[in-house]
């Protein structure tokens, strides 16, 4: 059985969801961002408790097919930016279509309909949050950050950063801002 959970955006989220499943006597066989695969075929007797436990941790059980697709899109983008350093061998639209097995137009229209923004804007917002994180840790130069996230140039990264945040990466770094948005709120 496959379940869908909203707001799973990191490895700690996966661990927390796994604990909820195990604590409720379920047997997860695989958990990835947004999805839980269980060995059980029917969990109706445990569903209410699992939902309550997930909600207590800030997660949400998703029953709607459209919402599941949007969460899958978000999970792929978060994984791409956070874990794979934006390493794409093909363009984003082909990447999403390949992983979700739908035409990009269908995916894009659904995402925009349910979120009020385009996939591209969501993707850029995720990349900018990653840039903020890397600026905060102050271990890489702007050029190294640009390379790591596969921007075509530092100028392109800086331009995109300013467009999203209203300030340059250098200005942002000088502010020593420690509060960033959680990834599920981007």
DSSP track, 44-68: HHHHHHHHHHHHHTT-EE---HHHH
Give the model confidence (pLDDT) of 122-155 as tens digits: 999 999 999 999 988 888 899 999 998 889 999 9
Let me know: does 18 contact 28? Beta carbons within 8 Å. yes
**Residue 160 pLDDT exceeds 80:** yes
Distance CA 53, CA 160 (A): 39
Length of the chain: 186
CATH of domain 122-185: 1.10.10.60
Let me know: does 176 contact 111? Beta carbons within 8 Å. no
Q: Which of 1-5, 35-39, 73-77, 162-166 has the lowest mean pLDDT?
A: 1-5
Give the model confidence (pLDDT) of 15-45 as tens digits: 999 999 999 999 999 888 788 889 988 888 9
Instruction: State the greatest distance between any 2 C-alpha atoms of the chain, in Å, as a whole number.
Output: 56
CB atoms within 10 A of CB 93: 15
Domain boundaries, the chain: 2-61, 122-185
Distance CA 28, CA 36 (A): 7
N- to C-terminal Cα separation, the chain: 29
Average pLDDT, the chain: 87
pLDDT of residue 8: 77
**Residue 7 pLDDT exceeds 70:** yes
Let me know: does 181 contact 129? Beta carbons within 8 Å. yes
Q: How far is CA 105 from the centre of its chain?
A: 20
Q: How confident is the model at residue 64 (pLDDT cuts 50, 70, 90)?
A: confident
Angle at 27 between CA 21 and CA 31, to 5 degrees: 70
Phi, psi of 5 (to 5 degrees): -130, 125
Distance CA 45, CA 87 (A): 42
Tokens representing residue 39 in the block: 């060995």
Tokens representing residue 30 in the block: 């695989």
Let me know: does 168 contact 162? Beta carbons within 8 Å. yes
Q: How confident is the model at residue 181 (pLDDT cuts 50, 70, 90)?
A: low
Distance CA 158, CA 2 (A): 41
Whole-model pTM: value is 0.73
């Amino acid at each position: 059985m496959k379940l869908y959970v909203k707001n799973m955006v990191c490895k700690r989220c996966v661990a927390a969801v796994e604990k909820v499943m195990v604590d409720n006597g379920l047997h997860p066989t695989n958990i990835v961002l947004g999805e839980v695969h269980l060995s059980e075929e029917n969990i109706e007797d445990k569903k209410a408790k699992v939902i309550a436990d997930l909600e207590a941790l800030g997660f949400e059980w998703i029953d709607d097919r459209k919402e599941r697709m949007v969460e899958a899109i978000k999970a792929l983008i978060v994984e791409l930016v956070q874990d794979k350093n934006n390493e794409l061998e093909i363009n984003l639209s082909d990447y999403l279509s390949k992983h979700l097995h739908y035409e990009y137009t269908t995916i894009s229209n659904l995402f925009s309909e349910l979120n009020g923004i385009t996939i591209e804007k969501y993707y850029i917002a995720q990349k900018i949050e990653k840039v903020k994180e890397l600026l905060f840790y102050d271990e890489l130069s702007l050029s190294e950050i640009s390379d790591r996230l596969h921007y075509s140039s530092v100028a392109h990264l800086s331009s995109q950063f300013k467009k999203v945040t209203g300030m340059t990466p250098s200005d942002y770094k000088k502010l020593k801002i420690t509060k960033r948005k959680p990834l599920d709120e981007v």
